[in-house]
Amino acid sequence: MSTGEEPPSGPDLTGPVLVVGSGLIGASVGLALRRQRITVYLRDQDPQVSAVAASRGAGDDREPAEAPQLVVVCVPPTRVAEAVIEALHTWPRSVVTDVSSIKAGPFVEVVAGLGQDAEPLRRYVGGHPMAGRERSGPLAASGSLFDGRTWAVTPHEQVDPAAVAVVESLVRLCGANLLTMSPADHDTAVARISHLPHVLAVLAAARLEGAPPDQMVLSGQGLRDVTRVAAGDPGLWRQILRANASPVRDLLVQVKDDLDELIAQLEKTEPDVDGLLRRGATGTRAIPGKHGGPARSLDTLYVVVPDQPGELGRLFAAAGDAGVNIEDVRIDHDLGRPSGLLELAVPESAGPTLAAALSERGWVVHR
Amino acid sequence: MSTGEEPPSGPDLTGPVLVVGSGLIGASVGLALRRQRITVYLRDQDPQVSAVAASRGAGDDREPAEAPQLVVVCVPPTRVAEAVIEALHTWPRSVVTDVSSIKAGPFVEVVAGLGQDAEPLRRYVGGHPMAGRERSGPLAASGSLFDGRTWAVTPHEQVDPAAVAVVESLVRLCGANLLTMSPADHDTAVARISHLPHVLAVLAAARLEGAPPDQMVLSGQGLRDVTRVAAGDPGLWRQILRANASPVRDLLVQVKDDLDELIAQLEKTEPDVDGLLRRGATGTRAIPGKHGGPARSLDTLYVVVPDQPGELGRLFAAAGDAGVNIEDVRIDHDLGRPSGLLELAVPESAGPTLAAALSERGWVVHR
């Protein structure tokens, strides 16, 4: 892995760029590159979609007037390999990349699709910007979607280093942070930090289906947090789990071992569950903190906030006046509560200051 | 289940009240009752703890001058039954309740501990206020801790209805919403909505232990949400899982069936994972919405916020000026992002208004 702090080492991206698939990600790539005055052409299998993206300023939806330096394939996961192969054949001197969330499977498909002709493979480099949204389509696009986000670039062994340099330049021009890793390492990583937690959230949420409503009344914030991602589009997640089946399966087998052991322990008179609980607590500390730094010591304040317009404004204005930077915020929606309970995380040293400042102005604060 | 909308049907709680165990919950009960001018006595096995609670105004830490009308047992889960039995024997006319998060197990222990003498059992009614905190101890206590929270009361078959009425009165005086259910139903409910999601969060987090740091760099908000509760105190959760082992085990066996099926599907060429993903999405919709109402249609706005004091104040002031009530807020801490991305949920009708108001004032807003 390299974290992209080194200066660009190869050809810069100067354009033109052809974006294939003008939905949320494709149109956002176009908008980000247009900020840099790079010529962008937009294509979509639905011409209305590329027309909308063009109308938002993401590029030109007519046929490219010249061969692109780079083709960025932004189509749904199941059509990536096919679109990459088509681009490599159509533009025999262009670099081609894609933005799909799985890297090894599409690469294997591209290799298989190209057959004996290995030359085009040298011009293909996969990528994956870590910038999803709950909304999709070109209307949700934004030129700042990738600002400060991680964008993984996954070179394979046969690739031309000059092609990699062009894609790395794309990442920088879009304002993202470059992370270089192999396709297999990438897929293992997203299995662990995205697909596995998604599956476990789904398993928790699946047990709520058909639960007696009087049991659900006791639901708290913990349940909402654990299961939130399980509300995501089942159609998209089917594609993701199919495309990354092997790494996800391997992790699930490890989870199953833990689960079997836990069930066996819970059948004993004196269950020993300490080891698993401790491993879980340790695991949470492996998640990088805000802005990628190490987890800092934070103080937590709880403030009662009436549920009406303007109250959060008054509260945060008071915090700003006190010179305290709020690191995190969460609204606790407890059942039947006429007012919200706001949880504020602030640097440990600022906790007493903020609590005093808020109390002085009449807020009910717990620490 | 009844939701406590009916008027009080028996003796009111007038005091005195003896609180046994003066930590977070005990001291908060004392503070809430003192708001109502009810006489409260505080006890703790560590006299310094009850002295601190008393100094905060939660009650009197001397020996009770008279027999209490109600004893509220607020000791850790493993010592509940013993403390309840002691209170029933020490005060032969007092009603006794407890606040532990598991109800059936302690009840069985109380029955066993009382032996042939069934009279005291008529004066015991279990309870469970749904009001936890990340902090503990009397310094974290608050008289408003229970405001609007659900407080489950769990009468058993041999209980005196007058004793139940006293505990129901306690719940109302503490500002909580009464929910009446059997001990067994309560334990099944918390297994499903709290203990099972906790275990699944732990299983996801346990797979992060020892993960290569370059994989963790790709972590996003979804991972943080799913695993957050797994950071909770392993010592407390050991007690909870041991005390509610049977209902949790039964649910985990159901999860294991889903997991086995999922692993088998992921080993196929064409995995069929649609059913599970759909059940998960359906399950999330069974969770009651804000303030217990049905889930409302919300619009989501994303706003880029510089990471410095005062910015959130400016933002929320603008929202208040626009007359828009913010229903939920979340800060997305993406790796390496110099500014935060704030996710605001507002009523669907207010989305365009707020987006326009914020854009006008120079905020970068995505919808």
B126 and B201 part of one domain: no
> What is the pLDDT, as a whole number, of residue B289?
66
Among A140, A208, A238, the residue with its CB nearest the CB of B273 is A238
B157 min Cα distance to partner chain A (Å): 20
Among A152, A270, A283, the residue with its CB nearest the CB of B230 is A283
Q: Indicate whether A289 belongs to any domain.
A: no
A65 min Cα distance to partner chain B (Å): 32
> What is the pLDDT, as a whole number, of residue B168?
97
Tell which phi-psi region holds residue A116, choosing left (phi > 0), alpha (psi between -120 and 50) or beta.
alpha
> What is the pLDDT, as a whole number, of residue A34?
96
Q: Indicate whether B8 belongs to any domain.
A: no
- The helix/strand/coil state of A20 is strand
Collect all residues of chain A within an 8 Å Cβ-Cβ radius of residue B108: none
Collect all residues of chain A within an 8 Å Cβ-Cβ radius of residue B307: 291, 325
Q: pLDDT tier at A5 (50, 70, 90 boundaries)? A: very low
Q: A234, A336, A307: which is closest to B5 by C-alpha?
A: A336
A19 min Cα distance to partner chain B (Å): 21
Q: A325, A258, A287, A91: which is closest to A189 by C-alpha?
A: A287
Q: Indicate whether A258 belongs to any domain.
A: yes
In the predicted model, is pLDDT for residue A188 greater than 90?
yes
> What is the pLDDT, as a whole number, of residue A6?
47
Q: Residue A266 and residue B249: Cβ atoms within 8 Å?
A: yes
Give the chain A residue nearest B217 (alpha carbons): A288
A5 touches chain B (CB under 8 A): no
Residue A192 CB coordination number (10 Å): 24
Give the chain A residue nearest B325 (alpha carbons): A309
B247 min Cα distance to partner chain A (Å): 10
pLDDT, one tens digit per residue, over A90-141 is 999 999 999 998 999 888 899 999 988 889 999 999 999 987 655 677 887 8
Tokens of A166: 């062009």
Instruction: Identify the bridge partners of residue A122 per DSSP, sorted by sequence position.
Output: none
A278 touches chain B (CB under 8 A): yes
Q: Indicate whether A8 belongs to any domain.
A: no
pLDDT, one tens digit per residue, over A12-34 is 999 899 999 999 999 999 999 99
State the CATH number of the domain containing residue A86: 3.40.50.720
A135 and A231 part of one domain: no
Q: List all residues 6 or more positions away from B355 whose beta carbon is below 8 Å from its beta carbon.
A: B301, B365, B367
A43 and A58 part of one domain: yes
Which A-chain residues 34-73 have CB contacts (< 8 A) with chain B? none
* Substitution target from B334, B349, B363 for chain A, most A beta carbons within 10 A: B334
A305 touches chain B (CB under 8 A): no
pLDDT along chain B (367 residues), means of 10: 48 94 95 96 95 94 95 92 96 96 89 90 95 71 85 95 97 93 94 96 95 85 89 88 94 98 96 96 83 56 72 79 76 53 76 84 75
Q: Whole-angstrom Cα distance, residue A161 to residue A108?
A: 20
A275 touches chain B (CB under 8 A): no
> What is the pLDDT, as a whole number, of residue A249?
97
> What is the pLDDT, as a whole number, of residue B158?
93
For the segment A66-75, the average pLDDT, to the nearest whole number, is 96
Cα–Cα separations (whole angstroms), residue B60 to A16, B18, B57: 78, 9, 8
Q: pLDDT tier at A332 (50, 70, 90 boundaries)? A: low
B85 touches chain A (CB under 8 A): no
Q: Indicate whether A2 belongs to any domain.
A: no
B54 and B164 part of one domain: yes
B120 and B142 part of one domain: yes
Which B-chain residues 90-109 have CB contacts (< 8 A) with chain A? none
B153 and B41 part of one domain: yes
A42 min Cα distance to partner chain B (Å): 21
Q: Residue A284 and residue B205: Cβ atoms within 8 Å?
A: yes
> What is the pLDDT, as a whole number, of residue B288?
81
Query: Of B181, B200, B223, which marks where a domain is finished?
Result: B181
B218 and B324 part of one domain: no
B105 and B36 part of one domain: yes
Q: Indicate whether A10 belongs to any domain.
A: no
**How many independent structural domains does chain B possess?**
3
The answer, yes or no, to whether ipTM is higher than 0.90 is no
A134 touches chain B (CB under 8 A): yes
Query: Of A256, A283, A310, which marks where a domain is finished?
Result: A283
Collect all residues of chain B within an 8 Å Cβ-Cβ radius of residue A307: 291, 325
Q: Residue B200 and residue A226: Cβ atoms within 8 Å?
A: yes
A95 and A244 part of one domain: no
Half-sphere exposure of A308 (CA within 13 A, CB side): 2
* Substitution target from B199, B258, B307, B353 for chain A, most A beta carbons within 10 A: B199
Sheet holding A40-43, edge to edge: A40-43, A17-20, A70-73, A95-98, A124-129, A150-154, A177-180
Collect all residues of chain B within an 8 Å Cβ-Cβ radius of residue A249: 263, 266-267
Out of A115-124, A156-165, A353-362, least confident range = A353-362
B203 min Cα distance to partner chain A (Å): 6
> What is the pLDDT, as a whole number, of residue B1?
46
Q: Residue A201 and residue B140: Cβ atoms within 8 Å?
A: no
Give the chain A residue nearest B134 (alpha carbons): A300
Among A144, A267, A276, the residue with its CB nearest the CB of B304 is A144
Alpha-helical (H) ranges within B213-310 are 213-216, 221-227, 234-243, 245-266, 274-284
Q: What's chain A's average pLDDT?
A: 87
Q: Residue B215 and residue A326: Cβ atoms within 8 Å?
A: no
> What is the pLDDT, as a whole number, of residue B126?
97
Q: Residue B222 and residue A314: Cβ atoms within 8 Å?
A: no
Half-sphere exposure of B189 (CA within 13 A, CB side): 27
More confident residue, A196 or B231: A196
What is the residue type of B182?
S
Q: Rounded to the nearest 5 degrees, what angle is found at the Cα of B70, between the Cα atoms of B67 and B72? A: 120
B275 touches chain A (CB under 8 A): no
Which A-chain residues 339-358 have CB contacts (< 8 A) with chain B? 339
Instruction: Return the residue matching tokens 């009425």.
Output: B165
Give the chain B residue nearest A196 (alpha carbons): B204
Query: Of A131, A151, A181, which marks where a domain is finished?
Result: A181
Which B-chain residues 140-169 have CB contacts (< 8 A) with chain A? 140, 142, 144-145, 147-150, 152
Q: A367, A329, A293: which is closest to B312 by C-alpha?
A: A329
> What is the pLDDT, as a whole number, of residue B324?
80
Q: Indicate whether A248 belongs to any domain.
A: yes
A92 and A201 part of one domain: no
A259 touches chain B (CB under 8 A): yes
> What is the pLDDT, as a whole number, of residue B290?
47
In the predicted model, is pLDDT for residue A273 greater than 90?
yes
B305 touches chain A (CB under 8 A): no
Cα–Cα separations (whole angstroms), residue B152 to A6, A215, B81, B85, B110: 59, 11, 18, 21, 19
Domain boundaries, position B233:
187-270
- Segment (H or E) for A351: helix A351-360
Give the chain B residue nearest A188 (alpha carbons): B215
For the segment A336-358, the average pLDDT, to the nearest whole number, is 74
State the CATH number of the domain containing residue A202: 1.10.3660.10
Q: Are A60 and A41 in contact (CB under 8 A)?
A: yes
Q: Whole-angstrom Cα distance, residue A38 to residue B112?
A: 79
B294 touches chain A (CB under 8 A): no
B82 and B210 part of one domain: no
B218 and B305 part of one domain: no
B3 min Cα distance to partner chain A (Å): 9
Collect all residues of chain A within an 8 Å Cβ-Cβ radius of residue B200: 200-201, 203-204, 226
Tokens of A76: 């749904």
Q: pLDDT tier at A301 (50, 70, 90 boundaries)? A: confident
- The helix/strand/coil state of B40 is strand
Q: Are A209 and B277 in contact (CB under 8 A)?
A: no
Size of interface A-B (CB pairs under 8 A): 479
Q: Indicate whether A154 belongs to any domain.
A: yes
Q: Whole-angstrom Cα distance, residue B235 to residue A367?
A: 22
State the CATH number of the domain containing residue A331: 3.30.70.260
Pairing of strands B365-366, A40-43: unpaired
